[in-house]
């Protein structure tokens, strides 16, 4: 479905050796050095450069929101999409500060008219099914939603993006992300269910029951979920925006760009993308660690260390875009620093 090249392992090693010739004690830039070496390997150069960054914010509604699993009503999804378009949301201001572009895609909002007409991508259906009782979508719809995200990513890349993040908006989507993550990683509901937008204890208990019921329903149809076809799992438990986010990462990896994950729903999309095409993993960077407990499980499964830990739990791509300046700096260090010999700086502790 997507033609993704593996990361060049020899470039990783060369980049690390080169990093140790730069005018600093080896390792003194800590994890920034790892990030720089990974960017070097992705770009197959010792002088990686990052230009414009972009975030593709995918929005959809969730039938399961009718179960009372969120602290907010479902109409907030459509209202926030309009807010993104007007520039009034957190992601707009964070993207402005990070000099990144925001692309908004209505892949499945429940509203009379599509909310991103004329943009890349399109609405596949008005909201997903209530995963406690029925599949989220048909497999053909899951595939279509993946293609919608891929199309939006390609549009952002065609307009000059050199680093790509995904963002999400969808009331109820931490319930879908929890069910998907538990299914893909073979975990129970407790390990991956958090408070989302901030549900109280009563709603949290109910949300746990809903995730358990969705998992039991999907398992009855597909058997052991961690061994099932990821597209079938997506169709049972997913959200349309989570499918589209998988598409953003698949198309971004196909283009060979560094890809930055956000919080729990976005990383569910990243996990799905790696299950569809494992080579995606080599292009992924974790922008931040969300307070959602399932996010840590996802990052462990992906082998990713988060760049930032700011106790965020907003989504929209905010944590991903906040990490752009760190990634940019990791590349700039490698591209622009002098080596010991170039700068005439003594390299050893010898007097």
Ligand X SMILES: Cc1cc2nc[nH]c2cc1C
CB 36 within 8 A of CB 19: yes
Pairwise CA distance, residues 194 & 172, whole Å: 12
* Closest distance to ligand X from the beta carbon of 208 (Å): 20
Buried b (16+ CB within 10 A) or exposed e, 106-129: bbbbbbeebbbeebbbbbbbbbbb
Does 262 help bind ligand NCN (rule: CB under 6 A)?
Answer: yes
Catalytic, 254? Answer no
CA distances from 29 to 33, 34, 329 (A): 6, 9, 11
* Closest distance to ligand X from the beta carbon of 173 (Å): 8
CB neighbourhood size of 209 (10 A) = 14
Task: Give the range of 145-153, 178-186, 232-240, 312-320 binding ligand X by CB under 6 A.
Answer: 312-320
Does 277 help bind ligand X (rule: CB under 6 A)?
Answer: no
Ramachandran region, residue 321 (left: φ > 0; alpha: ψ -120 to 50; beta: rest): alpha
Name the residue nearer to ligand X (CB basis): 43 or 70. Answer: 70
User: Which residues inside 275-294 make contact with ligand NCN, applying CB under 6 A?
Assistant: 290, 292
User: Which residues inside 61-120 make contact with ligand NCN, applying CB under 6 A?
Assistant: 70-72
For ligand NCN, the binding residue among 38, 125, 217, 295 (CB under 6 A) is 295
Nearest to 303 by CA among 335, 342, 271: 271
* Closest distance to ligand NCN from the beta carbon of 173 (Å): 5
Nearest residue to ligand X on Cβ basis: 72
Does 193 help bind ligand NCN (rule: CB under 6 A)?
Answer: no
User: Which residues inside 44-83 make contact with ligand X, applying CB under 6 A?
Assistant: 72, 76, 80
Pairwise CA distance, residues 90 & 314, whole Å: 9
Does 263 help bind ligand NCN (rule: CB under 6 A)?
Answer: yes
CA distances from 303 to 31, 43, 225 (A): 14, 20, 21
CB neighbourhood size of 266 (10 A) = 35
CB 8 within 8 A of CB 44: yes
* Closest distance to ligand X from the beta carbon of 77 (Å): 8
* Closest distance to ligand X from the beta carbon of 344 (Å): 52
Residues designated as active site? 316
Contacts with ligand X by CB under 6 A lie at: 72, 76, 80, 169, 197, 314-316
Contacts with ligand NCN by CB under 6 A lie at: 70-72, 168-175, 196-197, 262-265, 290, 292, 295, 313-316
């Amino acid at each position: 479905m997507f033609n993704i090249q593996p990361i060049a392992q020899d470039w990783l090693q060369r980049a690390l050796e080169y990093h140790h010739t730069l005018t600093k004690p080896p390792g003194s830039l800590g994890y920034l050095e790892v990030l720089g070496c990974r960017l070097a390997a992705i770009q197959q150069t010792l002088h990686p450069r990052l230009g414009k960054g972009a975030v593709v914010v995918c929005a959809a509604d969730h039938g399961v929101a009718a179960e009372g699993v969120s602290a907010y009503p479902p109409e907030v999804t459509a209202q926030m999409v309009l807010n993104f378009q007007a520039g009034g949301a957190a992601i707009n201001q964070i993207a402005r500060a990070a000099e990144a572009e925001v692309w908004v895609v209505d892949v499945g909002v429940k509203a009379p008219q599509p909310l991103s007409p004329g943009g890349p991508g399109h609405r596949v259906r008005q909201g997903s099914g209530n995963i406690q009782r029925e599949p989220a979508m048909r497999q053909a719809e899951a595939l279509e939603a993946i293609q919608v995200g891929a199309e939006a990513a390609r549009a952002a890349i065609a307009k000059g993006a050199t680093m790509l993040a995904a963002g999400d908006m969808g009331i109820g989507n931490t319930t879908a992300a929890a069910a998907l993550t538990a299914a893909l990683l073979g975990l129970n509901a407790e390990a991956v269910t958090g408070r989302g937008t901030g549900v109280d204890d009563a709603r949290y208990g109910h949300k746990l029951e809903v995730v358990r019921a969705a998992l039991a329903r999907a398992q009855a149809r597909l058997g052991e979920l961690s061994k099932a076809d990821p597209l079938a799992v997506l169709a049972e438990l997913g959200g349309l925006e989570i499918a589209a986010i998988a598409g953003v990462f698949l198309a971004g990896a196909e283009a060979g760009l560094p890809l930055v994950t956000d919080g729990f729903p976005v990383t569910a999309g990243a996990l799905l993308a790696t299950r569809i095409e494992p080579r995606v993993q080599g292009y992924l960077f974790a922008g931040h660690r969300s307070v959602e407990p399932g996010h840590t499980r996802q990052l462990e499964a992906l082998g990713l260390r988060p760049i930032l830990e700011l106790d965020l739990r907003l989504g929209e791509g905010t944590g991903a875009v906040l990490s752009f300046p760190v990634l940019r700096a990791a590349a700039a260090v490698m591209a622009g620093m002098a080596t010991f010999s170039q700068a005439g700086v003594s390299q050893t502790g010898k007097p």
